Structure 1
Amino acid sequence: MSATAGHAEERTNLVNRLGFQPGQVVQELGYDDDSDQDLRESIEELTGTELADEDYDDVPDAVVLWFREDDGDLTDALVDATSLVDDGAPIILLTPKTGRDGYVEPSDINEAAQTAGLAQTSSFNAGKDWTGSRLVTPKSARPAKR
């Protein structure tokens, strides 16, 4: 297997582990020139749909949020992302790795996620320059059936 094929397979496995499914609509927030193109393409390939941009006006199945330290308030960004999806839907937070421009401290991510009412289910290596956190909104308490 070539290095390129191995890299592509690794990306596909990551996207699968994140829980993306064919046919899902994934909305992307915070995209910029430094965003990881390979990861973006892997998500699109698995879902079979292009990533929806910030102007998407329906309810996506998941959100991918690229966030750098100087992008503003992380809690606000997470609350905004949460308002776009249904309860239980994942928000994939992507931040620059340690030592990269825009690095965000893990303690800041944890605090912002908790304040936004999200639970972190996993952290992962999202590429050469990015670290990811899979966050989920709690499912609403459903009324008891009588």
Structure 2
Amino acid sequence: MNRKTQIGDPPIRILRDDLERLETLLDSMHRSYARISLFLQEELLRADIVDKQPRSPFVGLGSHVAFVDEQGAPHAGTLFMPEDGCTSLPDGISILTPVGCALLGLSQGQSIGYETVDGRKKRITVTGVRPPDP
């Protein structure tokens, strides 16, 4: 068991196809993303890898996710990879952000803590997940 699981982070799942894309991304990341790269690597290491979305979906690449922060403020967006060209989406959440990494693999009702780029501690809870359209 790794350190993150020991401190109480929820179990997560990642689609095998998403894992391959994320590993390729990690291999090509610039040093300026070192912190987010480490966070993403830790998440991939602790994830259970699955071949398809179950009936109760979890957040994967292309998923639309609704969540609340520790103050109860609602947020929603679609998790995307940089090469997906979704930076212009009004609701896009890049996997290269701390909140994007934190959301990866979570299911409805699960909560996780993460650290923002400026060092603040945040906690979010997933309130809904819609997998990507086929």
Please indicate the TM-score interval, normalised by the length of the shorter structure: 0.3 to 0.5
Q: Select the structure that is richer in strand.
A: 2
TM-score by length of 2: 0.32
| Structure showing greater relative contact order (alpha-carbon pairs closer than 8 Å, 6 or more residues apart) | 2
Q: Which has the larger radius of gyration?
A: 1
TM-score by length of 1: 0.31
